[in-house]
Amino acid sequence: MNNSQYPSLLLENAVNELSRLPGIGPKTAMRLALFLLKEKKEDVNKFAESIRLLREEIRYCKECYNISDADVCSICSNPRRDHSLVCVVESVRDVMAIENTQQYGGVYHVLGGVISPMDGIGPDDLNIDPLIDKVRTGGVKEVVFALSATMEGDTTNFYIYRKISDCSVKITTIARGVAIGDELAYADEVTLGRSLVNRLPFENTL
Amino acid sequence: MNNSQYPSLLLENAVNELSRLPGIGPKTAMRLALFLLKEKKEDVNKFAESIRLLREEIRYCKECYNISDADVCSICSNPRRDHSLVCVVESVRDVMAIENTQQYGGVYHVLGGVISPMDGIGPDDLNIDPLIDKVRTGGVKEVVFALSATMEGDTTNFYIYRKISDCSVKITTIARGVAIGDELAYADEVTLGRSLVNRLPFENTL
C-alpha cells in the first residue's frame, strides 16, 4: 500500500482535500469520498463543476458587496427597495436570513466579517470604507446595524458609529431581547436585562 | 433575489450539490460554500479536480476489488503476502482498518457491501461470485469472514459459507468479544455471552 494507509493516491488526494472543509475530519472525508465513488460519473462531475464555477465566476455586487451573478445584485437593482435605508450585516448568510423574514424593504451593506483583533481582522480587511463613503455622499437616511451580538460585533458597530456619527443620518440597531418562543426562565440575564431596559409600548407590538 | 432565497445561481447550485453529500444539510452546505468562496481560486480548483479525478480515474483491483490506481492493487501484487489466506470484507474502509492493525499478512476480497434485502441488495449486486470462483479454482487455504456483526453481515457470511462449504477450504470468522479497554459491566449481553462461549486458553493471549 504505497507507504500510506490509502490503497490509492487518487483516494488519498480526495480525502485530504475534503478534510480541509470546516467541520470535516479524516473519517468523515473518507465517508464522503466513498459516497462519491458510488455516485454516477456525470453526477460527480456536476458536483465538482458547481464548486469550481462557484469560486471561479462568483461576483460581488459593487454597491453592497453581496454575492451576485451580475455587477449589481438583484436587491440593489430593485427600484422598489428603499435605497435610503441601509442594513449593515456581516455576511451573505445574514442577508438571506433577513430576506427570509420579509420584514425589510431597504438595501444591505455586507462587511465581509467583523473587526476581530484576535483573528487579525482589522477595519481595513472589511468593506467599511465604502459604507462610510456611501453615507457621506448622501442619499442614506438610516443605517441599521444588524451584526452578531458579540464583542466583535459590538466593536464593529462602535467603530462605524464613530466614523459616521457626525453625518445627518439616523443610526439604529436591531432589537435585542428574549427570542419569540423562548421561556423567560431560560433567557440569559444580559438579554433579559436588555429587553427590560428597552421595553416598548405594548400597543406597538399589536 | 431571482425568486429563490439565494442571491446567486452559482451559490444555489453549489449549495444544492454539497447538500447531496451524506450527513450534510442545507445549512452546513451553505457554510461549506461560503468557506470555499473565501479560499484561493487555485485551492478550490485543486479541491474540485481531486473529486472529479477520484470518480473519473479510480480503478478496482481485478483480483480483490479493492480500490486501486493500477489493474492489480499493491496488496495483491505483493509477493510477500500470503495469497492462500483471503479475508472477506465489506468495503475499502475495512481493508484500511485491518491494514492499520499490522496483524494480517494475507490478501483481501472486497464484496462492495452486504446482502440487505431491505435496501434491495442481493448477492448478485456484490462481488460474491468472483470470490466463489477464486475458492473453487484452488490455491485458497483459508477464508476469513470479517464483515460487520449485523444481521446483514451474518446473512452474507452464511450465504458465502453455503456456497463454499463443500470445498476443502478452512472457513473462519474474526473473533467477537468484549473490546479491549471496555469495562465488562458495559458490554452488551450478546457480546459478553459470545466471549464466554468462545473463551480460549489464557496462555494463547500472553
Longest dimension (CA), chain B: 73
Burial of residue B44 (CB within 10 Å: 0-12, 13-18, 19+) is buried
How many CB atoms are closer than 10 A to CB B86?
22
Chain B residues closer than 8 Å to A92 by CB: 7, 11, 34
* Lowest mean per-residue pLDDT among A13-22, A88-97, A131-140, B187-196: B187-196
With a CB-CB cutoff of 8 Å, which residues 5-64 of chain A face chain B?
5-11, 13-14, 16-18, 20-23, 28, 30-37, 39, 41, 44-58
Q: How confident is the model at residue B188 (pLDDT cuts 50, 70, 90)?
A: confident
pLDDT at A188: 84
As a whole number, the mean pLDDT across chain B is: 90
Which residue spans of chain A are classified as CATH 1.10.8.420? Answer: 9-57
Q: How confident is the model at residue B197 (pLDDT cuts 50, 70, 90)?
A: confident
* Lowest mean per-residue pLDDT among A156-160, A172-176, B36-40, B50-54: A172-176
Q: What is the pLDDT of residues A45-81, one digit of tens each?
A: 999 999 999 999 989 999 999 999 889 999 999 999 9
DSSP 3-state of B142: strand
Q: How confident is the model at residue B199 (pLDDT cuts 50, 70, 90)?
A: confident
Chain A residues closer than 8 Å to B55 by CB: 36-37, 39, 41, 44-45
Q: Is the model's pLDDT at B2 over the cut of 50? A: no
* A66–chain B nearest CA distance, Å: 8
* A189–chain B nearest CA distance, Å: 29
The CATH number of the domain covering residues in A9-57: 1.10.8.420
Q: What is the pLDDT of residues B58-100, one digit of tens each?
A: 999 999 999 998 899 999 999 999 999 999 999 998 999 898 8
Which residue spans of chain A are classified as CATH 3.40.1360.10? Answer: 80-174
Nearest to A34 among B32, B49, B93 (CB): B93
Q: How confident is the model at residue B4 (pLDDT cuts 50, 70, 90)?
A: low
Burial of residue B118 (CB within 10 Å: 0-12, 13-18, 19+) is exposed
Strand partners, B135: none
- CB distance A111 to A128 below 8 Å: yes
Beta-carbon separation of B75 and A14 below 8 A:
no
Q: What is the mean pLDDT of residues A166-179?
A: 88
pLDDT at B1: 39
Beta-carbon separation of B17 and A44 below 8 A:
no
Q: What is the mean pLDDT of residues B22-39?
A: 93
Domain covering B80-174, topology = Dna Topoisomerase Vi A Subunit; Chain: A, domain 2 (3.40.1360)
pLDDT at A4: 63
Between B29 and B102, whose confidence is greater? B29
* A119–chain B nearest CA distance, Å: 15
DSSP B53-77: HHHHH-EE-TTT--EESSSS-TTTT
At A110, phi and psi to the nearest 5?
A: -95, 115
Beta-carbon separation of A5 and B54 below 8 A:
no
Residue of A52, A57, A58 to mutate, interface with B, max B Cβ within 10 Å: A52
Beta-carbon separation of B21 and A9 below 8 A:
no
Burial of residue B184 (CB within 10 Å: 0-12, 13-18, 19+) is exposed
Q: Model ipTM?
A: 0.79
Nearest to B55 among A23, A41, A57 (CB): A41
Q: Which regions of chain B does DSSP assign to beta strands (E)?
A: 59-60, 67-68, 82-89, 106-110, 142-145, 170-173
